[in-house]
Chain A
């Protein structure tokens, strides 16, 4: 372990530091849609305590994990420095034990003999509306249910179980966050977390098909709502919008083996925010998947690169929605198996521009038993792979800081603080091994980690594993296409090189671009690779950046591509790197 990583464990205790991070409360229009029936507004204070205690009593009787984890903690503190939110904030209420004690003290006061007899001497405290509103609501939403603490607890006490129960009690009195309830209500309405309507979902798939065709010359289908299919694929819906390279990689894999697959607009989301909210909602969201799979006769359901999707499937689906008439697996298992069997033609050198490290999504690793597959795939498609320190990978992986339903704007500061351990570990391999690609097979990671890396000024690109697979995978007919394209490009380049050129630095004119470049190298010490700094075609044809552009999403027109890109970033949340998703030169 490097010094930098070592240092983050020297955390100074700052009681109260977590008090400022509060998620926005839900609104009635979201709350009313939850499968877990809850009051649409916080209950009046005089009703809160009674309702909450009733729910807590119910939950502890329904769940062995909760009952046991309320009972057996000895407060040894082994978990204290294993929680990223504590390491980031220093608030003792953000230690796993400190957070759990917020619930345990109430449990003891109301449901145990020693608590009733001895009160605060045994750490018991009666429930008040203030405890619910100021402690539980704040701190159970400063836990990402990453379960790292349970790896280090001598009894396997899992803070996620406490947090999940705490949140369900909060639901019962009308305290829930806007972010989570909004996402879940979007799933109930549109089938996915982002609230992408059916038409847009299909349009995006077509768009990606075109993109693959353009780059590979191969007709790769991204089927949606096929009536019958062997395989139902569930992507995190962000893969259709922001992490499109992951979706492209997956589609290429399916194409390469001729799989009969489809996605569904009714269940177009692998993720299951029910995990952050209630058992009822986990079950209801999973049910959509089961229904679709049954309807299309899928024999296999494959979950995309999404951490808690995999947990909801792997640990909850059979138990809650079973028996299941299909088999299910993760796309990492699927692709790894294909690679093992030699079914994919891979050219590792196509990923030679990246030096990769891998972030294990908490739920893939600790809850999903998937740590080797991702590494195996990366090593099969890349020449350069480096693992981070072994204290922060695999089952000991640190949360990105945005899991557990906390990926919301209002607690950005907390998210950055929670991302500190992961960022520090990444920084070490960036500095020691020049890592420039952080592979994170999880949509929440892909949204959170780029912000964390930017915040801590770590120059690394964040992407999926199938992004890399997509790059290395050679489809049938692709090489011919590429050869042809290359020939065409060279011809065009040759043609361009023959154009009369002018040196921008001294206005000297030349018959060809090559001559100008030679001049630039000789006179201005500009290497030929950077010749375009000096030389340009004489006519000075308008470059693409200066051409009038149009936004494909809203048809707005702009004088230059740059302006359009700015507009796309502002209005459509499309980063400038991906501006070409939206903007094109005006025809």
Chain B
């Protein structure tokens, strides 16, 4: 336990950080560098840079393509609640990283909703998992990786909930560990009270973070590069041209 715990707390986080940051930057750099000379926007057309930005953001924030008429509104509900909850949970966890003494006010303010999100998130996750099993067509297109990432996130959620509500690690110490890691200072495990539930949760989170650059989870970054959304028709120029003609 001692060696393993030491690895998870004092060694792995740095590996995780490097893999995550380098991996994500590499993936985005690849997309960034690929040429895209043909404007392949899909109508309803973005006629200007501005409307293209609106289009991308509405897809990022509201999942507009799923939400639209005859999109997939059940999937939208599941996916949107999941992503929003995930975001809120991440925000809530900033309390372990920010502020030397007290956390910033806004981080304190999102604690309640962040905890609510943590309680809720397993519902959309289970829905996303179930639909891959229940619907024959979705089952057919699913790969083991699709189940893996859902199960991984579920296990992160459950280990977190277990730690918070049953194992009760000493949160001051958790914050101390995180701040030490940020300051690149090794933590003497004998001076802090951490328990297995926390270590498991922390480990799973790191697995998830390291998995992201190699997986479909990168869709978060990719959507900003999608040519059918980011390109615009130059419709204004075309219309002007028509008037001249």
Contact A68 B31, beta carbon cutoff 8 Å:
yes
Known: A151-B42, A155-B222. A80 touches B141 (CB 8 A): yes
Chain B binding surface, main DSSP class: helix
Contact A72 B223, beta carbon cutoff 8 Å:
yes
Any chain A CB within 8 A of the CB of B44?
A: yes
Any chain A CB within 8 A of the CB of B36?
A: yes
Any chain A CB within 8 A of the CB of B190?
A: no
Any chain A CB within 8 A of the CB of B201?
A: no
CB distance from B237 to the nearest CB of A (A): 10
Closest Cβ neighbor of B38 among chain A residues: A319
Any chain B CB within 8 A of the CB of A284?
A: no
CB < 8 Å neighbour of B141 from A95, A158, A161, A366: A95
Contact A120 B144, beta carbon cutoff 8 Å:
yes
CB < 8 Å neighbour of B66 from A68, A154, A329, A333: A154
Instruction: Report how far A147 CA is from B65 CA in the complex, Å.
Output: 14
Contact A150 B66, beta carbon cutoff 8 Å:
no
Which residues of the other chain, B, contact A113 by a CB distance below 8 angstroms? 214
Which of A56-64, A238-246, A539-547, A568-576 lies on the face that meets chain B?
Answer: A56-64
Any chain A CB within 8 A of the CB of B241?
A: yes
Any chain A CB within 8 A of the CB of B140?
A: yes
Known: A120-B144, A371-B43. A67 touches B65 (CB 8 A): no
Contact A123 B145, beta carbon cutoff 8 Å:
yes
- Chain B positions 88 through 101: 1 when the CB is less than 8 Å from some CB of chain A, otherwise 0: 00000000000000
Contact B218 A72, beta carbon cutoff 8 Å:
yes
Which residues of the other chain, B, contact A101 by a CB distance below 8 angstroms? 141
Chain B residues with a Cβ closer than 8 Å to the other chain, count: 59
Which residues of the other chain, B, contact A60 by a CB distance below 8 angstroms? 34
- Chain A positions 154 through 185: 1 when the CB is less than 8 Å from some CB of chain B, otherwise 0: 11111001000000000000000000000000
Known: A74-B219, A155-B219. A315 touches B40 (CB 8 A): yes
Interfacial residues of chain A within 199-247, with CB under 8 A of chain B in the complex: none
CB < 8 Å neighbour of A78 from B30, B65, B148: B65
Instruction: Report how far A15 CA is from B31 CA in the complex, Å.
Output: 34
Which residues of the other chain, A, contact B63 by a CB distance below 8 angstroms? 154
Contact B242 A337, beta carbon cutoff 8 Å:
yes
Interfacial residues of chain B within 188-228, with CB under 8 A of chain A in the complex: 214-216, 218-219, 222-223, 225-228
CB < 8 Å neighbour of B38 from A123, A316, A391: A316
Contact A150 B42, beta carbon cutoff 8 Å:
yes
Contact A319 B141, beta carbon cutoff 8 Å:
no
CB < 8 Å neighbour of B136 from A13, A299, A327, A369: A13
Contact A154 B59, beta carbon cutoff 8 Å:
yes
CB distance from B153 to the nearest CB of A (A): 13
Known: A152-B72, A319-B37, A333-B242. A158 touches B65 (CB 8 A): no
Interfacial residues of chain A within 253-309, with CB under 8 A of chain B in the complex: 299-300
Contact A157 B145, beta carbon cutoff 8 Å:
no
Instruction: Report how far A391 CA is from B68 CA in the complex, Å.
Output: 10
Contact A329 B141, beta carbon cutoff 8 Å:
no
CB < 8 Å neighbour of B146 from A75, A319, A367, A396: A75
CB distance from A114 to the nearest CB of B (A): 4
- Chain A positions 59 through 88: 1 when the CB is less than 8 Å from some CB of chain B, otherwise 0: 011111101110111111110110000000
Known: A72-B219, A114-B215. A395 touches B43 (CB 8 A): yes
Interfacial residues of chain B within 54-68, with CB under 8 A of chain A in the complex: 59, 63, 65-66, 68
Closest Cβ neighbor of B230 among chain A residues: A156
CB < 8 Å neighbour of A366 from B34, B43, B72, B145: B43
Known: A63-B36, A72-B219. A152 touches B65 (CB 8 A): yes
Contact B70 A366, beta carbon cutoff 8 Å:
no
Contact A72 B216, beta carbon cutoff 8 Å:
yes
Instruction: Report how far A390 CA is from B69 CA in the complex, Å.
Output: 9
Any chain B CB within 8 A of the CB of A459?
A: no
Any chain A CB within 8 A of the CB of B27?
A: yes
CB < 8 Å neighbour of A92 from B75, B137, B148, B244: B137
CB distance from B195 to the nearest CB of A (A): 32
Instruction: Report how far A396 CA is from B68 CA in the complex, Å.
Output: 11
CB distance from A370 to the nearest CB of B (A): 8
Contact B138 A68, beta carbon cutoff 8 Å:
no
CB distance from B177 to the nearest CB of A (A): 30
Any chain A CB within 8 A of the CB of B181?
A: no
Contact B34 A121, beta carbon cutoff 8 Å:
no
Contact B219 A64, beta carbon cutoff 8 Å:
no
Known: A74-B216, A76-B75. A391 touches B137 (CB 8 A): no
CB < 8 Å neighbour of B138 from A77, A153, A394: A77
Interfacial residues of chain B within 36-50, with CB under 8 A of chain A in the complex: 36-45, 47
Any chain B CB within 8 A of the CB of A531?
A: no
Instruction: Report how far A150 CA is from B30 CA in the complex, Å.
Output: 22
Instruction: Report how far A583 CA is from B106 CA in the complex, Å.
Output: 84
Contact B141 A97, beta carbon cutoff 8 Å:
yes
What are 25 A-B residue pairs whose CB atoms fall within 8 Å in the complex?
Answer: A13-B136, A13-B140, A15-B140, A62-B34, A63-B34, A64-B225, A65-B40, A68-B226, A68-B227, A72-B226, A74-B146, A77-B138, A77-B141, A78-B66, A121-B144, A150-B228, A151-B65, A152-B65, A157-B228, A314-B233, A314-B238, A319-B37, A319-B38, A319-B39, A327-B244
The 10 closest A-B pairs by CB, nearest first: A123-B143, A72-B222, A64-B36, A64-B34, A156-B228, A156-B229, A72-B219, A114-B214, A92-B140, A156-B226
Question: B-side interface residues toward A, CB under 8 Å?
Answer: 27, 30-31, 34-45, 47, 59, 63, 65-66, 68-72, 75, 79, 131, 135-138, 140-146, 148, 214-216, 218-219, 222-223, 225-229, 233, 235, 238, 241-242, 244-245
